[in-house]
Amino acid sequence: MKKTIGIIGGMGPMATIDLYRKIIEVTPANSDNDHIHVVIDSNTLIPDRTAYILGKGEDPAMEMIRTAISLENMGADFLIMACNTAYYYYDRIIPFIKIPMLNMIDETVKEIAKLKMNTVGLLATDGVLASKVYEYKLNEYEINIIKPSEEGQKVVMDLIYNGIKASDFSLDISRFRTVIEELYFSGAETLILGCTELPIAFERFSLKGNAIDPTKILAEKAVQFAFNNKNN
């Protein structure tokens, strides 16, 4: 029997939709009934994850914990989150639930390791960079990491917050294209789209280049877990 997926969403809403869409797309189904039961709580009351990590905002953990417990009570057999930065709080959430929770960061780095790459570029929020959630995991596999310059990181944050989160698809992304080129020029073999808004940006703005989509990887792992009750 298929397991029910619970999505801690709202971080942000469009990223939540993107994760659910990718779950549907990678599910082997010929009819509605072949798809997986998915319970989504798009909780937009969860405070900004990056703001708290940088010491500028309210702790989001308790609201995320409440959402996790709510999803478990609604029948979810395991949980996932539609936000890379949110996995900084992973260890604070799991003691409060009795069901498994997949880790987007771990699953993404495992897939990168299978590709036997030596150097990757990381596009992510300031919170992901400051918390080093990807860096610590990549170091375990001895994979080098390249990050944007200080000015380049401001451009990345502008696209995430003032572009995708604000639903402004008229944003000028010429500077963001330059950031991507600089990462490749510095030796990145691929780019980790380490914020769930970034795969949306790459699609909406038709951005090119070799990139890893953690949202898609999480969707694939969630479908595997739902059908097999194990994390392959």
Question: How many Å apart are CA 165 and CA 8, to the nearest integer?
Answer: 17
Residue-level pLDDT, tens digit, the chain, 232 residues: 899 999 999 999 999 999 999 999 999 999 999 999 999 999 999 999 999 999 999 999 999 999 999 999 999 999 999 999 999 999 999 999 999 999 999 999 999 999 999 999 999 999 999 999 999 999 999 999 999 999 999 999 999 999 999 999 999 999 999 999 999 999 999 999 999 999 999 999 999 889 999 999 999 999 999 998 554 4
Q: Which CATH number fits domain 5-103+215-228: 3.30.200.20, 3.40.50.920, 3.40.50.1860, 3.10.180.10?
A: 3.40.50.1860
Predicted structure pTM score: 0.95
| 67 CB-near residues (< 8 Å, 6+ apart) | 8, 41, 43, 46
| Contacts of range 61-65, beta carbons closer than 8 Å, 24 or more positions apart | 61/89, 61/92, 61/93, 64/8, 64/89, 64/93, 65/92, 65/93, 65/96
Catalytic residue IDs: 83, 195
- Hey, how many other C-beta atoms are within 10 angstroms of the C-beta on 72? 19
Task: Select 105-213's CATH number: 3.90.1150.10, 3.40.50.1860, 3.40.30.10, 3.40.50.11600.
Answer: 3.40.50.1860
